């Protein structure tokens, strides 16, 4: 495979990363593969459900980032991977895996992807999606309660105990490594259009 473009999309929880990723996916259709850092949460089969609910899922140690880096390298070199699947309803990795084929554009998405230097250095474009904290917590409540079967109390407790402090330690400080900062997430249509044009130009240059 010719040169592969690797794009990182980072930002706090519920900042609008998925909206940005979906816009990139629409732009490049079948030429893109997306790897979500959340799918690389470590497996904890040795723990009970109750014990798993007490883990800090917003700390870098919660992720098998080494496996993600290996997968990014394999895809870049033209090889398929077996991507893990994470089941939020049981707070554990599923037995299922998804076969992912190499594509010209790889998007890596997650709250902590800029924190890891090796993963960060693999990216050609590093994007940070910045959204006000009050908007992010409202979005997270809506997402986790409706889509992931969480209780309102558990979402708020987790936000206070781990999400907010980990954001201040491992997310916000690393936006300095980003190439592009998009305020207001998916609502910033002008920034998204500029980003799409920039990515298109890079892809076109690689194809020449």
Instruction: Note the pLDDT tens digit of each residue in 152-163.
Output: 998 899 899 999
| CATH code of the domain covering residue 136 | 3.40.50.300
- When divided into structural domains, the chain yields a total of 1
Domain presence at residue 22: yes
Domain presence at residue 205: no
The sign of the torsion formed by the CA atoms of 94, 73, 69, 112 equals negative
Q: Residue 21 has what DSSP assignment?
A: H
pLDDT score of 42 = 96
Local mean pLDDT, 10-residue blocks, the chain (208 residues): 88 90 87 95 95 93 97 97 94 95 95 97 95 88 85 90 94 95 85 86 69
Nearest-angstrom CA–CA distance, 40 and 28 = 24
Domain presence at residue 186: yes
**In terms of residue numbers, what domain contains 103?**
5-197
Domain presence at residue 32: yes
Domain presence at residue 206: no
Domain presence at residue 207: no
In this predicted model, what pLDDT tens digit does every residue of 90-137 receive, in sequence order? Answer: 999 999 999 999 999 999 999 999 999 999 999 999 999 998 888 888
Domain presence at residue 153: yes
The strand order across the sheet containing 105-109 reads 32-36, 105-109, 5-11, 125-130, 180-183
């Amino acid at each position: 495979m010719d040169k592969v473009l690797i794009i990182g999309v980072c930002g706090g929880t519920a900042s609008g990363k998925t909206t940005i990723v979906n816009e990139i996916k629409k732009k490049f259709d079948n030429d893109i593969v997306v790897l979500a850092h959340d799918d690389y949460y470590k497996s904890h089969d040795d723990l009970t459900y109750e014990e798993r609910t007490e883990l800090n899922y917003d700390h870098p140690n919660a992720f098998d980032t080494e496996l993600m880096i290996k997968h990014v390298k394999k895809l870049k070199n033209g090889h398929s991977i077996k991507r893990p699947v994470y089941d939020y309803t049981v707070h554990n990795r599923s037995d299922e895996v998804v076969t992912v084929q190499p594509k010209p554009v790889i998007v890596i998405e997650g709250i902590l992807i800029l924190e890891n230097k090796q993963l960060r250095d693999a990216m050609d474009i590093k994007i940070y999606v910045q959204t006000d904290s009050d908007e992010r917590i409202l979005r997270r409540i809506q997402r986790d309660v409706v889509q992931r079967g969480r209780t309102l109390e558990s979402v708020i407790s987790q936000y206070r105990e781990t999400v907010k402090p980990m954001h201040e330690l491992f997310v916000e400080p690393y936006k300095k490594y980003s190439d592009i900062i998009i305020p207001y997430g998916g609502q910033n249509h002008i920034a998204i259009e500029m980003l799409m044009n920039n990515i298109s130009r890079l892809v076109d240059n690689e194809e020449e």
